[in-house]
Structure 1
């Protein structure tokens, strides 16, 4: 087990929240725990998918699980359920901090795809950004 991998206690909480796998066909070669630890490694370190260590399984299989669950909303359901469990235990303090700092996008962000609807899959998974949100030129400039 690597330094940042899930502990047995964490896995015991997470495992019941995962979607059930297909029962028919060949048994999986790579355990879900390995693949999820690979996803966590990639997200934690920021390395390219191809640089995920082989101990977590083939990078393509790790990426496939991540993107499939991103598209169908599994990650959102898991985080919502984990937050509700933590809130029920009183482990979350719902304090709100409001900051009026102005965040500007990089100059190249204004040149987004002209036809974003033609992209193979949306970058955020199943959750769509409202149509009135976006970057680009306005009367005030960029």
Structure 2
């Protein structure tokens, strides 16, 4: 189930993972019909919820209702962390990285002390 939003009459999917990326990780994730136990209702919606949290930096309680209960999403996220599911998914996705979301922030990246000009040097 993909959520949609309408911009000026055009309907677009609000997802982070495109279909190719999803197809690479969907069989790695637990909860598919071939697994023992409960089958997940919608792994893609859950992954999109976690990516929404990662992208926005919002607290779990601010997760939009379209993704379900924030507490259930958090509990499932925590279980997947302890089982190493996320690491497997990230390895599958990083094998073909497109650098679409690569960012360098000047407040984090600094010039090494030897790369900075000397004090009192002429400036342009």
- Could you say which structure has the higher strand fraction? 2
CA distance in 1, matches of 2:111, 2:30: 40
Q: What is the aligned partner in structure 1 of residue 96 from structure 2?
A: 86
Kindly tell me: are residues 9 and 86 of structure 1, through their superposed partners in 2, closer, same or farther at Cα, counting changes over 3 Å? Answer: closer
Of 79, 82, 88, the residue aligned with 1:68 is: 79
The structure whose Rg is larger is 2
* 1:43-54 pair list within 5 angstroms: 43-54=54-65
Give me the TM-score of the superposition, normalised by structure 2: 0.57
The 1:64/1:101 distance shift into structure 2, 3 A limit, reads: farther
**5+ long unaligned stretches in structure 2:** 4-12, 100-109, 114-124
- Aligned pair count reads 90
Aligned to 2:106: none
Q: Which residue of 1 aligns with 2:53?
A: 42
Query: Aligned Cα RMSD in Å?
Result: 2.8
Measured after TM superposition, the shift of residue 36 of structure 1 is: 0.8
Q: 1 or 2, which has the higher helix percentage?
A: 1
